Structure 1
């Protein structure tokens, strides 16, 4: 089994946090989004992962530190790590084809801006599986249309009339991804674009037209990381899941001086807490210092200093300095508020 991870986008909706760090490497509940996503997919697949292919963007932004991080992620899962570059932002189909040498055999394609919780078996009769989540407002999503055999027969973007309540979340399994490669190559050769981009859906629709069987794999939770507000919400959800799983989320190296932690919280190594109340639903990166503050439902990265703060639904980057009595804050790396 292979996992293909297109992650070349700049994450503009999550700025300023993505000005210095690619969005898939922003930590949520103490671990980068793409690391957590790939590990969770590996758990669902429950079979050996042969290769993980990452499709990155501009080397000036996705540099060697990013490559090393992803190579280690693959190695830790016993897989070969392959790095490809998407030289132009030409859509989901183009991103997948940027990894053309790795497009053979069974594979999962997963876009690295979402997190999941799932437990299901892949249907052995299916040529492909599109992972979905039941939603209350399907008109806001791309959804699947099913026939009487519960096979996917159509993909419908933001339907005005009810088609189904199963929204496509951006994770796909192909029994042989070489078939998708063949169809996407046709899309590229014929220059078929939607919104100025080559889309994975156009390759999938050609597979369906050939009679390939598509089924759904429904996830229990689908957590987006598209913007600051939803990323903070996702952080809280993930912390609660990890606590329920029995994971130890608080480092033994935390210095606690006249402070209280209300779980669930992730607190990294070397964190110093003085005269503060932290939690619930707070993640704090390594080497951060928090003094005389109350912090809840927030995400704070590494090596930052927070003083005299009353924070809720805040997101603060790395190496930031914050001193004040603000709330609903979103400041990026190396920022100062005092």
Structure 2
């Protein structure tokens, strides 16, 4: 069986990532110099996918603008817009219909906010060699109490989809859903068109109850949910340093620096940092594990650790900040505590 079609679920508003997602959908945020979506599409292409449908809702025009201007992904990419959010199930059905998924075909589905090093080709091969109607990438986690659980039997067949456990006795497995599915045409057709639905809570459990076979593909490679600003920062740094691979990142490095950025020779940049177009890093500044957006400025002697400095924002000289998120068009003149998020167009000064 050859699988050539895929769906990316990219319709969420990314509320946990605010203020970064006030103007940009979460999957369009840059990690290691490319949108999250681009890394996922490159991975799909590497696994033999030739046609991708982006299932969008929130700020869908941003995806259209990106597709019109990007030239590094050459497979067919289209956009399926939901006028009202349809949940994971409704989004899959809507996108599959627009892909023209037919009897005998299957489709790969990726959550749009997951960074994974798992072997998609191997998952496809396992599915193709089986008679299953679906396959889920599963990972084992040290503390599964915060996740829905997906137990499997000795043959790898999924036995249940369980909600987040409320007591230790309810933790019957350490396996969780890692957000990559392979679904047959028949399984997709179980989703009612145009109706909001959750595959995890409604479609998949109902399919199991009807005797449908779904396989778990257990791969404990790198897995990160990019749903918060600090996991997003970590994911970007891990891509730059190739802790997790991406076909778009050709070599391991301490930093990705845009050719138009202006870096003083005495500045130190490391830890998987990204310095974007027209950014300025002044004399003696230190940037580690951080993302400096377009036209932002890090002042002389300033230090930025595991943080985001938004577009056209300015961190003045000799300040040291750790684990902060500074949005666009901000002026930062005082130290702020770790964990702080600064909304756009703010000036923070001693006065």
Taking structure 2 as the reference length, the TM-score comes to 0.80
5 Å-filtered alignment, 1:303-314, equals 303-308=295-300, 309-314=302-307
What's the counterpart of residue 129 of structure 1?
A: 135
Deviation of 1:270 after TM superposition, in Å, equals 1.3
**Within 2, Cα distance between the matches of 1:204 and 1:71?**
35
CA offsets 1:249-284 (integer angstroms, 9 cap, x no match): 6xxxxxxxxxxxxx5212122121113111122111
**What value does the CA root-mean-square deviation take over the aligned residues?**
2.5
- 3-state SS in 2 of match to 1:286: coil
Of 320, 328, 335, which residue of structure 2 is paired with 1:333?
328
> In the aligned structure 2, how far is the partner of 1:102 from the partner of 1:200?
19
What is aligned with 2:347? none
Residue 13 in structure 1 maps to residue 16 in structure 2:
yes
Report the Cα distance in structure 2 between the residues aligned to 1:209 and 1:35, rounded to whole angstroms: 36
Q: What is the match of residue 296 of structure 1?
A: 288
- Per-residue CA deviations over 1:26-48 (Å, capped at 9, x if unaligned) read 111111111112212333xx32x
Q: Map of 1:140-289 to 2, 5 A cutoff?
A: 140-159=146-165, 160=167, 161-174=170-183, 176=184, 178-185=185-192, 188=195, 198-201=197-200, 202-219=202-219, 220-241=221-242, 247-248=250-251, 263-274=253-264, 275-289=266-280
Say if 1:40 and 1:116, in contact at 8 Å, map to a contact too.
no
Which digits, 9 at most, give the CA deviation of each residue in 1:131-162, with x for residues without a partner?
11110011211221112322112111223322
Whole-angstrom distance in 2 between the partners of 1:184 and 1:203: 7
Distance 2:233 2:154 in 1: 39
Return closer, same or farther for 1:333/1:179 CA change in 2, 3 Å cut-off: farther
Say if 2:101 is the partner of 1:98.
Answer: no
Q: 1:75 to 1:101 in 2, by over 3 A?
A: farther
Q: Matched residue of 1:216: which SS?
A: strand
Whole-Å Cα distance in 2 between the matches of residues 29 and 142 of structure 1?
30
Distance 1:283 1:216 in 2: 36
Instruction: Identify the residue that residue 84 of structure 1 maps to in structure 2.
Output: 80
Q: Runs (4+) of structure 1 moved beyond 3 Å?
A: 70-75, 242-246
Question: Could you list the runs of 5+ residues in structure 1 that have no partner in the other structure?
Answer: 189-196, 250-262
Per-residue CA deviation, residues 154-177 of structure 1 (Å, 9 max, x unaligned), is: 111223322221110221111x2x
Q: Matched residues in 1 for 2:311 and 2:217: separation?
A: 37
Q: Structure 1 residues 42, 154: closer, same or farther in 2, change over 3 A? A: farther
Q: 1:56 to 1:83 in 2, by over 3 A?
A: same
Q: Distance in 2 between matches of 1:130 and 1:217?
A: 6
Provide closer, same or farther for how the CA distance between residues 66 and 55 of structure 1 changes in structure 2, counting only shifts above 3 A.
same
Write out per-residue CA displacement over residues 174-225 of structure 1, whole angstroms, 9 at most, x where no aligned residue: 1x2x32332111894xxxxxxxx62112112232233332112234111221
Change in CA separation of 1:22 and 1:186 when aligned onto 2, cut-off 3 Å:
closer
Name 1:62's counterpart in structure 2.
Answer: 60
Structure 2 gaps of 5+ residues are 334-351
Are 1:34 and 2:30 counterparts? no
Does the 8 A contact of 1:52 with 1:74 survive in 2? no
SS of the residue 2:136 aligns to? strand
For residue 95 of structure 1, give the secondary structure of its aligned residue in structure 2: helix
User: In structure 2, how many angstroms separate the alpha carbons of the residues matched to 1:155 and 1:72?
Assistant: 41
Report the alpha carbon displacement of residue 54 of structure 1 after superposing the two structures with TM. Answer: 0.7
Structure 2 residue aligned with 1:253: none
Q: Could you tell me whether the CA contact under 8 Å between 2:239 and 2:245 is conserved in 1?
A: no
How many residues end up aligned between the 2 structures? 308
Sort the Cα spacing of 1:103 and 1:200 in 2 relative to 1 into closer, same or farther, 3 A. Answer: farther
